[in-house]
Amino acid sequence: MNYQFLDSPIGRLRLVSNGTHLVKITFEGQGDAAAGDLESSDPVLASTASQLNEYFRGERDSFDLPLAPQGTPFQQAVWDALADIPYGELRSYRDIAETIGNTAAVRAVGAANGRNPLPIVVPCHRVIGSDGSLTGFAGGLPAKTLLLQLEGAILV
């Protein structure tokens, strides 16, 4: 695995690729490097850093990257539903459960959302509680708030 760091408005991000696909984005203090990981750039990491910088500058509202998140079939279904949430829009965990055709799985959707290995690119930050409250985010609620403000989904 290859990785590089990206300083962003929501903190330092660690971008991880397998050389051909983006496999993980972690926030500072999460998921330290594993044995065999190399701090180096490859075309996937360079493209990811470039597209994330454009996003943070307000110049990009979607990503065009080769992705390979690792998860169960259920998690993959949730992450696919997350990827379909348009820029600047919000969905509840219940909305996602309905999208994947399993209305009884609201809590499981929340768990899968929390295990999203590609935050920002697969926009788990666009998911809120059914009551409209901002709920957990791996990067912290201040980072989630900043991302949603950047997208115009919530007011300052």
- Domains of the chain (ranges; CATH) run 2-56 (3.30.160.70), 73-150 (1.10.10.10)
Rounded CA separation 111/106 (Å): 9
Instruction: Give yes or no for a contact between 126 and 90, defined as CB atoms under 8 angstroms apart.
Output: yes
What pTM, to 2 d.p., does this model score?
Answer: 0.90
47 token code pair: 């493209």
Rounded CA separation 135/74 (Å): 21
Q: Please identify which of the residues 124, 128, 138, 147 carries the catalytic annotation.
A: 124
Active site residue 124: yes
Q: Tens digit of pLDDT for each residue in 9-31?
A: 999 999 999 999 999 999 987 76
The pLDDT assigned to 130 comes to 85
What is the chain's alpha carbon radius of gyration, rounded to the nearest angstrom? 15
Rounded CA separation 55/122 (Å): 13
Q: Tens digit of pLDDT for each residue in 65-102?
A: 999 999 999 999 999 999 999 999 999 999 999 999 99
Rounded CA separation 102/123 (Å): 20
Confidence band, pLDDT 50/70/90 cuts, at residue 60: very high
